[in-house]
Amino acid sequence: MDLRTYSPTSRTTLHRIPGRGSYDRAVVHAILDEALVCHIGFIHEASPIVIPTTFVRIDEQIFVHGAVASRMLKALAGGARACVTVTLVDGLVLARTAFHHSMNYRSVVILGVASLEEDAATKRDVLMRLIEKLSPERSRALRDPNAKELAATSLLAVSLDEVSAKTRSGMPKDEDEPEDKVAPVWAGIVPLSLSARAAQPENGDAERYPLPHVPAVFRASS
C-alpha cells in the first residue's frame, strides 16, 4: 500500500474528467489546510441538508464543532452518513466560446460517518488547534475553554478514509472548432484569491495589543 496516496473506492472514483482527480495525500492535506469552511451534507428527517462550518484537519481526520443542541451534530453523532466538501476558487476561466467558460479550482470530497469526541483534553486541544488555523499564535494569548464551555460544545471527527481531490488549472480549452481559436474576444484567466484586509480593533485595542496574525496564504500582497 502506498502511504502517499488514498485508495479510491467505488464512491470516490472519479468518472467525469478523471484526469483532474487526485488521491495524493499531500494534495488533499494542502487543500484542507488552506480552506476555512467546509460544507457538510447529510439526511435529516428524510430531507437532504447542507450546512457550512469551520473545521480543522489533524493528521488523518477533520474536526467540526458546535453547540450540543445543533441538529447537524446530533444527526452526525447519531450515525448519519456525511459528505464533506471543500472548494477553493483560484480563477475565472474566460474562453472565446460560452461552452468553454470555466473556473480554476481545488476541491476535496470526504465521505464517511462521524464519531463523537468526548474526552475533555482532546476537545480542548482540537478547539485550540482550530484557533491556530484561523489566527496563528493566537491560542497562546487566550484563556483555555473551561469545563462549562467544553460541556456545551460537541466535537465530531470524520476520518479521511474515503476521500478524493479534484482540481482545474490553466487556460481555456477553445478547441472544438477552428474558428473558436481566432474569435474576436478576449480569452484568458482572471485570478482570484482570498486576502485579509486591515484588522478592525474593538474599542482601544489597536493601542493596547499587537495585531493578530492571519494565515500566510491570506495575507494581502504588497
What local confidence, expressed as pLDDT, does residue 219 receive? 82
Sort 133 into a burial class: Cβ within 10 Å, 0-12 / 13-18 / 19+. Answer: buried
CATH of the domain at 39: 2.30.110.10
Mean of the pLDDT values across residues 70-93? 96
Per residue in 117-138, pLDDT tens?
Answer: 999 999 999 999 999 999 999 9
1 in any annotated domain = no
pLDDT at 176 exceeding the cut of 80 = no
Range of the domain at 208: 18-218
pLDDT over 90, % of the chain: 80
122 in any annotated domain = yes
pLDDT at 171 exceeding the cut of 80 = yes
Per residue in 53-62, pLDDT tens?
Answer: 999 999 999 9
Say which amino acid occupies 62: I
68 in any annotated domain = yes
What local confidence, expressed as pLDDT, does residue 222 receive? 43
Beta partners for 85?
39, 109
CB 162 within 8 A of CB 83: no
Mean of the pLDDT values across residues 160-177? 91
Cell 460517518, located at residue: 113
CB 161 within 8 A of CB 185: no
Number of domains forming the structure of the chain: 1
Question: What gap in Å lies between CA 17 and CA 72, rounded to an integer?
Answer: 32
158 in any annotated domain = yes
5 in any annotated domain = no
